[in-house]
Amino acid sequence: MDLDQLAALRTPEGSAALTAAAGLAGGDPLAAASALRAAGVPPTLAAAALTQVELRHRAVGKFGPAAAGMFLTRAGLEQATRRVVADRRAARLRDAGVRTLADLGCGLGADALAAARAGIRVYGVEADPVTAAMAAANAAAAGLAELFTVECGDATTFDVSRVDGVFCDPARRRAGTGRRIFDPRAYSPPWDFVTGLAERVPRTVVKVAPGLDHALIPVGAEAEWVGVDGDLVEAALWCGDLAEVPRRATLYRQGAGGDEARRHQLTGSGAAEAPVGPARRYLYDPDPAVVRAHLVAELAGELDATLADPSIAYLYADRPTRTPYARCLEVTDVLPFSLKRLRALLRDRRVGRVEILKRGSALTPEQLRRDLRLTGDAAASLVLTRVAGAPTVLICQPVD
């Protein structure tokens, strides 16, 4: 999409095209395009409207009902913060005394809109002209244009002395190709600029990829990993005055029927080591946010659990304990890995459906599933791992 197409979508004719495209959503795309053109919508406008409707449908999982009025790009939507996460971050900034915020690399405006909803005055900076225009349009659509303004420009030139807080979400995809950037030193703005913000503004938050190397975490910063319904979605560095603990895993669990998500937080040093012991009756598979935050030892303490191998983040305990931080499985069999023996045992028990979990195993679950040649109507969970350094398979049943 270009600026002219965005401008066209914001006209009365564009609004009518979006409404008509929404009514055709879910059907054949070619038929929908033909129907819009038959109704007198110019081809370029029809294509833009259909793309926006598709993106808005995909965005509901992140933004809820507000997605219906937003302007989006595919890359921007993928990197945008989920509303439940952005709202919590905004509340934490507000509670820390932030009243004016620079959002450097604001993208489509998800975090800036959350801060504005929390009553914070936000100055957004975005390098891409189309994305910047979309962020401004999203602020207008949300009725927050007075609290969130956007300028198109270089984030590194923004005068941060104008604000008392900074949020920076550096671009982690290459312009033009959309390919992920895994080396933070190749982010835009550059990593040294990003990490230097905290020296200029004591209340600085940086959103980073969940796979960030712990060695790159600035000294004194709080590193938070965020999970939503079992998916690891992002990490953030809370710098300067905002740092409260060394490491934090924050999990959001959506309630049944669309209830408000519940938030759970596990904190610790990130340097503790869990005790090691034998495999026991119950296995806990920690949430990815807990694992990435290096808080498995803290979780082990809560569950009175141990590791069966010091390098693998499966925990074992003698009794099941309800926890939001891990999934619990009951271990029925612990076997040295042998395809022949495993296949025979599953055949005898008429196991025809398995889920396969793995940590510390070179086996490919898809290949193993084919090699097992399963038949039967029973189900089981297979855990491929190591126990005391030895390749091991555990046959399990989920614990509710």
Domain range annotation of the chain = 3-72, 77-266, 282-398
- At 367, phi and psi to the nearest 5? -70, -40
- At 190, phi and psi to the nearest 5? -60, 155
Please determine, for residue 367, whether its predicted confidence score (pLDDT) is greater than 70.
yes
DSSP assignment of 309-338 = STTS--EEESS----TTEEEEEEEEEEE--
Q: pLDDT exceeding 70 applies to what percent of the chain?
A: 97
* Average pLDDT of the segment spanning 240-248: 96
Q: What is the pLDDT of residues 257-302, one digit of tens each?
A: 455 789 999 999 999 999 999 999 999 999 999 999 999 999 999 9
Question: What is the model's pLDDT at position 143?
Answer: 96
Q: pLDDT exceeding 90 applies to what percent of the chain?
A: 87
At 355, is the secondary structure helix, strand, or coil? Answer: strand
Q: To which residue do tokens 């290949």 refer?
A: 367
More confident residue, 36 or 254: 36
Question: What is the model's pLDDT at position 178?
Answer: 63
Separation between Cα atoms, residue 348 and residue 126, nearest integer Å: 61
- Whether 394 and 333 have beta carbons less than 8 Å apart is answered as yes
Please determine, for residue 165, whether its predicted confidence score (pLDDT) is greater than 70.
yes
* Average pLDDT of the segment spanning 189-213: 92
Separation between Cα atoms, residue 128 and residue 347, nearest integer Å: 58
Question: What is the model's pLDDT at position 309?
Answer: 95
Distance between terminal CA atoms of the chain? 47
* Average pLDDT of the segment spanning 177-204: 85
For residue 35, the Cα-to-chain-centroid distance in whole angstroms is 37
At 274, is the secondary structure helix, strand, or coil? Answer: coil
List 247's β-bridge partners, or say none. 223, 268
- Which residues contact residue 396 at a Cβ distance below 8 angstroms, ignoring those fewer than 6 apart? 283, 329, 330, 331, 332, 380, 381, 382, 383
Please determine, for residue 231, whether its predicted confidence score (pLDDT) is greater than 90.
yes
Q: b/e for 60-90, b at 16 or more Cβ within 10 A?
A: eebbeebbeebbbbebbbebbbbbbbbbbbb
> Across all residues in the chain, what is the average pLDDT?
93
Percent of the chain as helix, strand, coil, to the nearest 5:
40, 30, 35
Please determine, for residue 303, whether its predicted confidence score (pLDDT) is greater than 90.
yes
Q: Does domain 77-266 have CATH number 3.40.50.150?
A: yes
Question: What is the model's pLDDT at position 254?
Answer: 79
Question: What is the model's pLDDT at position 176?
Answer: 61
Its pTM stands at 0.91
Q: Which long-range contacts (CB under 8 A, 24 or more apart) does 67-71 make?
A: 68/22, 69/138, 69/141, 69/142, 70/108, 70/138, 70/141, 71/6, 71/9, 71/108, 71/134, 71/137, 71/138, 71/141
Please determine, for residue 243, whether its predicted confidence score (pLDDT) is greater than 90.
yes
- Whether 114 and 83 have beta carbons less than 8 Å apart is answered as yes
The closest alpha carbon to 325, from 333, 334, 313, belongs to 313
Question: What is the model's pLDDT at position 109?
Answer: 97
Please determine, for residue 30, whether its predicted confidence score (pLDDT) is greater than 90.
no
* Average pLDDT of the segment spanning 51-78: 94
For residue 108, give the DSSP letter: T
Q: What is the pLDDT of residues 325-342, one digit of tens each?
A: 999 999 999 999 999 999
- At 372, phi and psi to the nearest 5? -75, -25
CA geometry: angle at 125 spanning 123 and 128, to 5°? 150
| Furthest-apart CA atoms within the chain: distance in Å | 71
* Average pLDDT of the segment spanning 149-160: 96
Question: What is the model's pLDDT at position 362?
Answer: 93
Question: What is the model's pLDDT at position 379?
Answer: 97
